[in-house]
Chain A
């Protein structure tokens, strides 16, 4: 059979041998079937219009938050399956469940997905859901920009996720260090996917940073001074400023690598006086603040959860704020600890080793503040509080091993061993993920109007935490015994076999924990435990003064805030009727209109990125023109707002029983 040579070439480029493995083809078929099923379902139930009007074009921060959360859970599944594949490969010596090449692709995807497409959107989900409600705002400062951020993230995630079935996955690790990520050693399109997907998602992330910075600084309710906002809003503020300073270096590093790969520049190449280590330097100027971008929202969640479930005001509010600020400043002076071995010399290494150790101090302050908040409180061990209780020992171990890694001479031994792997999973999984899961269970009723089943939540927690410790504790010892990261297989007789076996068993236990959590969500959706009060946890901050879920305009009347735990004070002083409105006090509310521009803009970015990935420049230019067109449309379209009338508000609030007669 003869084929048009052009088509043969195209097919080879789209489907190189690395994507034609039987398991990948199986997944492709499964995904196609699932997509067809979804399309049929949406068409049969006539939900396309609903999907478009209510979700795709929405600029409502609550809905955007829910979309971030669902996307993050899907990505947690994807990254989790990758993790299980890695652990399956390592369960015993000389396993060949995957080839070395596929193993590289899987750990690269695992890291990239978990950091950029699971943890970040999970954090943004909680920001979107909670921050405007906490500070008494009707939406974020720039609602349309918020939708743009979400869709850029979503299309960035799609871009990375299609790489395994079209064109080939990236395989240079989630840091993608040159020279291995350069064209000379990595000629496929995988690395292009990595660069472009992070670039697209990164634009959205920077926009989110700007958005929440302005939201917290500008849209606070009257009387809500900066010393009265909940710590979670503080953490959103500080995280946003970190994003603003940290992401541009990543943009630069990715951009220069793209110039190297696609346009023949030599910023980081081995030849032509390229400087590969400069990439490591730029990447970690971003990368180190990034880990604090991930952990500070978790700190914020716990600072809300602990007081609520201890029925006590947060111990040391000022110390919490100061330590957050100290962490944010210090986090900019520590990045070299990711590459002490580069050989920058004792001066540089001592400076950055010391600055790294210093960060442990403000973090320790926060630990003690949470413990002192619980001390003498009436503690209820609900699921959000359970995750917090699981977090404290996990994060302390992670932090202590971090200080061990900061000791420069010792780091020459630990570097890139399984000790490091165990350390950063301890802080990112045991810190960030425990934090966002705690926040998810905590704010779930506020998002959907029903609570997640408590008993199933406890089981999910138990499996997840037991699995967590079982997975990562052996890895510290594997690190001491010399096992390095990214080994695709290992020989017997090194004393690694038993430790690896238990680590893999732990990973599967964690997987069961995740499945229970999914079951928990689906079960609770079918048998909803409606939250009719809007305040299921006896909360302290303003979001619990609203019905669950909050109406589109959040607050029928913007509250006047007099103290830190305003809603708690109102309940104590019997002033809860203050949130009700009456015929006289209600006004029409202006809200931003829905717009298709964000999703079209992101789609144009996606099309252009595909063009860049495969170096089809006509497509890249087409995508670029699409971006310009979407921006022009967005600038000149009549962006006037819609008005929610007095009658609508009165009707909605009366149904919720919030109108004074």
Chain B
């Protein structure tokens, strides 16, 4: 079923970002099997399970563990952004850059600060 047929063509918004309006139009009429999405879904589940197992079954020492977990978190993030969050579909805009930078800043901030804050436990207990 061709849903795009029912939608009116994107109207000019007058903000100079007409190109992007197209992205809001759903791309539903895809003829092929969504192999990439299914792979990405499988991979993200696998990474989650491996991370869980690494912690639950003490596969490595604390410092190595934290490093590996952070690397895996980045891979997970890239998977989500690249496959499910339409990051690669955006054309003709720089909007994404500051938003991504902000997300990265806040994400790293939360992780970094939490580690800094919670470090007291090793000193106390």
Stretch touching chain B among A157-165, A215-223, A431-439: A215-223
* Contact (Cβ within 8 A) B109 A333: yes
Chain A contributes a number of interface residues (CB within 8 A of B) equal to 32
Query: Known contacts being A220-B15, A281-B114, A281-B117, is A343 close to B124, with CB within 8 Å?
Result: yes
Is A640 in contact with B14, judged by CB distance below 8 angstroms?
no
Task: Please name all residues of chain B whose beta carbon is closer than 8 Å to the beta carbon of A333 when the two chains form the complex.
Answer: 109, 113
Is there a chain A Cβ closer than 8 Å to B120's Cβ? yes
Task: For B86, list chain A residues within 8 Å (CB).
Answer: none
Residues of B within 8 A of A558 (CB): 11
Find chain B residues with CB under 8 A from A343 CB. 120, 124
A263 → B minimal CB distance (Å): 13
Q: Is A372 an interface residue (CB 8 A)?
A: no
Q: How many residues of B contact A (CB 8 A)?
A: 27
**Complex Cα–Cα for A225 and B13 (A):** 9
Q: Is B1 an interface residue (CB 8 A)?
A: yes
Q: Is the CB of A141 within 8 A of B117?
A: no
Q: How far is the CA of A275 from the CA of B121 in the complex (A)?
A: 9
Instruction: Chain B residues near A360: list those with CB within 8 A.
Output: none
The reply to whether A336 and B117 form a contact with Cβ atoms under 8 Å apart is yes
Inter-chain contacts of B110 with A (CB < 8 A): 249, 285, 332
A275 CA to B103 CA in the complex, in Å?
Answer: 26
Of residues 1 through 19 on chain B, the ones whose CB sits less than 8 Å from some CB of chain A are 1, 3, 6-8, 11-15
Q: Name which residue of chain A comes closest to B95, CB basis.
A: A217
In chain A between 418 and 446, which residues have their CB closer than 8 angstroms to a CB of chain B?
A: none
Question: CB distance B117 to A348 under 8 Å?
Answer: yes
Bits for A174-209, please: 1 = Cβ < 8 Å to B, else 0.
Answer: 000000000000000000000000000000000000
Interface residues as binary, B15-48 with A (CB distance below 8 Å gives 1, 0 otherwise):
1000011001000000000000000000000000
Query: Do B3 and A639 touch across chains, with their CB atoms under 8 A apart?
Result: yes
Within residues 277 to 304 of chain A, which ones have a CB less than 8 A from any CB in chain B?
277-278, 281-282, 285
Nearest CB in chain B: distance from A170 CB, A: 25
Choose from B3, B103, B121, B124 the contact partner of A640 (Cβ within 8 Å).
B3
Chain B at the A interface: SS class:
helix
Whether, in the assembled complex, B106 has its beta carbon less than 8 Å from a beta carbon of chain A, the answer is yes
- Asked if A222 and B120 make an inter-chain contact with CB atoms under 8 angstroms apart, the answer reads no
Q: Which residues of B contact A5 (CB under 8 A)?
A: none
Given contacts A220-B15, A590-B8, A639-B3, contact A348 B120 (CB under 8 A): yes
Q: B20: which A residues are within 8 A, CB to CB?
A: 218
Bound together, the chains give a CA A285 to CA B112 distance in angstroms of 12
How would residues 101 to 123 of chain B score, 1 for a CB under 8 Å from any chain A CB and 0 otherwise?
00100100110011011111101
Q: Once the chains bind, are B118 and A281 in contact (CB under 8 Å)?
A: yes
Closest A residue to B114 by beta carbon equals A281
A-B contact count (CB 8 A): 60
Please give me the residue from chain A that is nearest to B16 by CB atom: A225
Q: Which residue of B lies closest to A245 (CB)?
A: B106
Residues of A within 8 A of B114 (CB): 278, 281-282, 285
Interface residue? A23 (CB, 8 A): no
| Nearest CB of chain A from residue B96's CB, rounded to whole Å | 12
Contacts of A277 in B (CB 8 A): 118, 121
A348 touches B116 (CB 8 A): yes
Contact indicator B12/A222 (Cβ below 8 Å): yes
Q: Which residue of A lies closest to B110 (CB)?
A: A285
Contact indicator per residue, chain A 116-160, by CB within 8 Å of chain B (1) or not (0):
000000000000000000000000010000000000000000000
Task: Tell me the bound Cα distance from A214 to B106 in angstroms.
Answer: 20
Cα distance A638–B21 in the bound complex, in angstroms: 22
- Chain A nearest Cβ from B62, distance in angstroms: 12
B11 → A minimal CB distance (Å): 8
B117 close to A222 (CB less than 8 A): no
Q: Report the minimum CB–CB distance from B93 to chain A (whole Å).
A: 11
Interface residues of B (CB under 8 A from A): 1, 3, 6-8, 11-15, 20-21, 24, 103, 106, 109-110, 113-114, 116-121, 123-124
Closest 8 CB pairs of A and B: A222-B14, A640-B6, A344-B120, A344-B117, A223-B14, A245-B106, A348-B117, A281-B114
Given contacts A218-B24, A281-B118, A590-B8, 5 further A-B contacts (CB under 8 A): A222-B12, A277-B118, A336-B117, A344-B119, A558-B11
Q: Can you sample 13 A-B contacts with CB below 8 Å?
A: A218-B20, A218-B24, A222-B14, A224-B14, A226-B15, A281-B114, A336-B117, A342-B117, A343-B120, A344-B119, A344-B120, A560-B14, A641-B7
